[in-house]
């Protein structure tokens, strides 16, 4: 972490860089990031503000620590922990209510793409994900499209496929919240590496990336950031 921040700060200042560490090291990462252009977020949080939910971390707790972002509905949370669209929607709502920007993760499985229901699946995840935000006049959030069949496999989809899904996501948002839809950033996640990150970010459909395993290598992560901030 220290080595990552010790490099030339120009690329880090030119991009919106957010680190989402595991809960046990959030405090350490928050301290190290203080005073740097890098902000931090959480990988997950619970939708209830308080109560008897042993082991859970609330949005209110994260806000008190200075959390800027939180992942909601990551594909692994949906697949391994049974999070439903409704669960994700409640997390998105609570994040916005606490002044934390949710990163709403959506994406289809390989089976859903084979069955040609990937567009319906993603569109529905988007609709339900933002369903509880109508009461908030100011609702800032990001959507991360992560095709589940590509995440962690080392086999990213073609950029044109990702852009097509980004267009669908924007279309869905326009139907749900026409006044703010075009201001919602969409980023791509799925086997993002230094040698492919820039091919996905065209500035029109996709404006950034959600980096998974490559982020564990400070040099690889810095290279990705450098490539995306170099014209």
Catalytic residue among 76, 146, 176, 205: 146
Measure the CA–CA gap between 2 and 5, rounded to whole angstroms: 5
Query: DSSP letter string over 152-211?
Result: TTT-PPPHHHHHHHHHHHHHHHHHH-TTTGGG--EEE-SS--TTTHHHH--SSS--EE--
pLDDT tens for residues 82-112? 999 999 999 999 999 999 999 999 999 989 9
The secondary structure of residue 45, as a DSSP letter, is -
Whether 80 contacts 127, CB under 8 Å: no
Helix or strand holding residue 87 (H, E): helix 85-97
Q: Is 114 left (phi over 0), alpha (psi -120 to 50) or beta?
A: alpha
Confidence (pLDDT) at 49: 87
Burial classification of residue 64, based on how many CB atoms lie within 10 Å of its CB (0-12 exposed, 13-18 middle, 19 or more buried): exposed
Considering only CA atoms, which of 60, 61, 69, 62 is closest in space to residue 41?
69
At 19, the pLDDT band (50, 70, 90 cuts) reads very high
What structural domains does the chain harbor? 2-228 (3.20.20.70)
Q: What is the pLDDT of residues 173-215, one digit of tens each?
A: 999 999 889 899 999 999 899 999 999 999 999 999 999 999 9
Q: Residue 156: pLDDT above 90?
A: no
Question: What is the pTM for the complete model shown?
Answer: 0.95
What distance in Å separates the CA atoms of residue 31 and residue 53, rounded to the nearest whole number? 27
- 154 falls in which pLDDT band (50, 70, 90)? low
Element (DSSP H or E) covering residue 70 = strand 69-72
Q: What is the mean pLDDT of residues 126-146?
A: 93
Tell me the pLDDT band of 137, cut-offs 50, 70 and 90: confident
Q: Which of 74, 83, 108, 205 is catalytic?
A: 74
Q: Is 146 a catalytic residue?
A: yes
Query: Is residue 74 annotated as part of the catalytic site, yes or no?
Result: yes
């Amino acid at each position: 972490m220290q080595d990552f921040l010790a490099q030339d700060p120009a690329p880090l200042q030119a991009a919106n860089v957010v680190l989402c560490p595991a809960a046990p090291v959030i405090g350490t990462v928050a301290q190290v990031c203080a005073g740097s252009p890098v902000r931090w977020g959480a990988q997950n949080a619970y939708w209830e503000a308080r109560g008897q939910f042993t082991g859970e971390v609330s949005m209110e707790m994260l806000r008190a620590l200075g959390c800027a972002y939180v992942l909601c509905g990551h594909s692994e949370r949906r697949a391994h922990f049974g999070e439903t669209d409704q669960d994700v929607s409640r997390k998105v709502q609570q994040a916005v209510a606490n002044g934390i920007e949710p990163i709403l993760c959506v994406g289809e499985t390989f089976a859903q793409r084979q069955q040609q229901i990937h567009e319906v699946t993603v569109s529905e995840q988007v609709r339900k994900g933002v369903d509880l935000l109508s009461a908030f006049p100011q609702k800032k959030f990001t959507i991360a499209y992560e095709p589940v069949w590509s995440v962690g496999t080392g086999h990213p989809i073609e950029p044109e496929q990702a852009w097509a899904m980004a267009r669908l996501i924007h279309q869905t948002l326009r139907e749900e919240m026409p006044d703010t839809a075009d201001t919602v950033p969409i980023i791509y996640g799925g086997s993002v590496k230094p040698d492919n990150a820039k091919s996905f970010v065209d500035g029109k459909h996709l404006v950034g990336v959600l980096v998974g395993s490559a982020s564990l290598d400070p040099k690889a992560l810095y290279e990705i950031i450098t490539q995306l901030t170099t014209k």
